[in-house]
Amino acid sequence: MAPCRFSPYIPFRPPSASSGRTASPRGRSALLTDTASIPTDDLVAGFQIENQQVRGRVVRLGAAVDTILAAHDYPEPVANLLGEACALAALVGSALKFEGKLIIQAQGDGPVAYVVADYDTSGSLRGYCRYDADRVAQASQGFARPGAQTLLGKGVFIMTIDQGPDRERHQGITAVEGETLALCAEHYFAQSEQVPTRVRLAVGELTTGEGLRSWRAGGAMIQNVAEDQARGATADAWERAQALFATTGDDELIDPEVPTDRLLYRLFHEDGVRLFTPKPLRAFCRCSHERIMDVLRSFPAEERVDMVEADTGLIRVTCEYCSSVYQVEPGSV
Ligand SMILES: [Zn+2]
């Protein structure tokens, strides 16, 4: 982990609106700049409230978050926390204007010691949690679903921008505050970026007609992108945008029957809202046999001897992110 340092402003701009924008800002749904090959699920997209210094992003996750969460047998509150982290990583990371990764982490002294979700600008998401099952069960008593503060305890929320091995990482750290990762993120943006920001995240399990359950997650954020000196002049618009944003229902964010453009239209139709071309998201882990070998080679030989399983004579490595299991012949390391 790179030493703690506060990140510079994360460029939070939707893509340029040069392509195919339609004329009226008040259609039945939010306007799309480009209707070719638009994903309807597992997507993240920027949007802009017409004629206001308010921009936002929205994320909808179906199969992608289900794949990530189904790779583990997490208790429901832990799966929820990781789902929130995945949605948040995509929301923030998709604003990056260069190739790289946006990593959301939180750690503390609570029942969940660590949660991480990483988004890379190719649209890949992955993540995992470390937790104590007994303590999670204990903390869950009396709660419908314990949130971030209860699960993580006293801890820190960390956002990292990683542009690759030859570039310096930018990292910002704030205290875990609030019962959702959305509140942690708002606190982060207020402290580290000084950009007024509202974030909503929702996670839930849907049951299909056949009784199959699958995870879904969704989220949205808005930011007042007016320059400091102009914030006073735009205060009313920002107040109004926040009030409308606050009416977003968790159920709407995760409902596969509510398309993203309709979701935004419901919220901001009076002012008009423009949705930028969505970017597809998927669950993808970068682990590989070669990477596992590199990790094993980084251990002293005597420690590798201790890793060999008595019954198989092999070293067995499980990827914490995706639960893939790699079996390695000790002699081949
Ligand atoms: Zn993996």
Determine the distance separating the centroid of ligand 1 and the alpha carbon of 25, expressed in angstroms: 43
Does one domain contain both 319 and 242?
no
Determine the distance separating the centroid of ligand 1 and the alpha carbon of 183, expressed in angstroms: 29
- 136 is a domain residue: yes
- 19 is a domain residue: no
Determine the distance separating the centroid of ligand 1 and the alpha carbon of 323, expressed in angstroms: 6
Does one domain contain both 276 and 294?
no
Determine the distance separating the centroid of ligand 1 and the alpha carbon of 160, expressed in angstroms: 20
What Cα–Cα distance (Å) separates residue 295 from each residue in 116, 288, 298? Answer: 19, 11, 5
Determine the distance separating the centroid of ligand 1 and the alpha carbon of 83, expressed in angstroms: 17
Determine the distance separating the centroid of ligand 1 and the alpha carbon of 321, expressed in angstroms: 5
Determine the distance separating the centroid of ligand 1 and the alpha carbon of 126, expressed in angstroms: 8
- 5 is a domain residue: no
| Distance from C-alpha of 105 to C-alpha of 181, rounded to nearest angstrom | 10
Does one domain contain both 210 and 63?
yes
- 10 is a domain residue: no
Determine the distance separating the centroid of ligand 1 and the alpha carbon of 65, expressed in angstroms: 15
Domain that holds residue 270: 40-283
Amino acid 192: pLDDT: 83
Number of folded domains that form the chain: 2
Determine the distance separating the centroid of ligand 1 and the alpha carbon of 320, expressed in angstroms: 7
Check if the beta carbon of residue 12 is closer than 8 Å to that of residue 195. Answer: yes
- Percent of the chain having pLDDT more than 90? 71
pTM of the model: 0.87
Q: What is the pLDDT of residues 195-221, one digit of tens each?
A: 899 999 999 999 877 888 999 999 999
Look at 18-32, 75-89, 217-231 and tell me which has the smallest mean pLDDT.
18-32
Does one domain contain both 300 and 186?
no
Helix, strand, or coil here: 228? helix
Does one domain contain both 150 and 231?
yes
Amino acid 38: pLDDT: 65
Determine the distance separating the centroid of ligand 1 and the alpha carbon of 38, expressed in angstroms: 28
Does one domain contain both 143 and 162?
yes
Neighbours of 241 (CB within 10 A): 26
Q: Which of 1-10, 61-70, 228-237, 261-270 has the highest mean pLDDT?
A: 61-70
Does one domain contain both 298 and 176?
no
- 6 is a domain residue: no
Q: Over the chain, what is the mean pLDDT?
A: 87
- 34 is a domain residue: no
Determine the distance separating the centroid of ligand 1 and the alpha carbon of 246, expressed in angstroms: 36
The residues, ordered by sequence, that sit 6+ positions from 307 with a Cβ below 8 Å of its Cβ are: 296, 299, 315, 330
Determine the distance separating the centroid of ligand 1 and the alpha carbon of 322, expressed in angstroms: 4
Determine the distance separating the centroid of ligand 1 and the alpha carbon of 210, expressed in angstroms: 30
Determine the distance separating the centroid of ligand 1 and the alpha carbon of 14, expressed in angstroms: 30
Determine the distance separating the centroid of ligand 1 and the alpha carbon of 159, expressed in angstroms: 21
CATH number reported for the structural domain that contains residue 152 in this entry: 3.55.30.10
Helix, strand, or coil here: 120? strand
Helix, strand, or coil here: 56? strand
Does one domain contain both 234 and 299?
no
- 254 is a domain residue: yes
Amino acid 232: pLDDT: 76
Determine the distance separating the centroid of ligand 1 and the alpha carbon of 149, expressed in angstroms: 28
Determine the distance separating the centroid of ligand 1 and the alpha carbon of 37, expressed in angstroms: 29
Amino acid 12: pLDDT: 32
Q: What is the pLDDT of residues 282-311, one digit of tens each?
A: 999 999 999 999 999 999 989 999 999 999
- 59 is a domain residue: yes
**pLDDT band at 165; cut points 50, 70, 90:** confident
Amino acid 15: pLDDT: 34
Does one domain contain both 272 and 294?
no
Does one domain contain both 169 and 305?
no
Per-residue pLDDT for 27 more than 60?
A: no
Determine the distance separating the centroid of ligand 1 and the alpha carbon of 100, expressed in angstroms: 18
- Span 24-44, average pLDDT: 62
Determine the distance separating the centroid of ligand 1 and the alpha carbon of 129, expressed in angstroms: 13
| Distance from C-alpha of 289 to C-alpha of 326, rounded to nearest angstrom | 7
Does one domain contain both 190 and 301?
no
- Span 117-132, average pLDDT: 97
Does one domain contain both 174 and 251?
yes
Amino acid 164: pLDDT: 85
Look at 57-71, 81-95, 216-230 and tell me which has the smallest mean pLDDT.
216-230
Per-residue pLDDT for 225 more than 50?
A: yes
Determine the distance separating the centroid of ligand 1 and the alpha carbon of 286, expressed in angstroms: 6
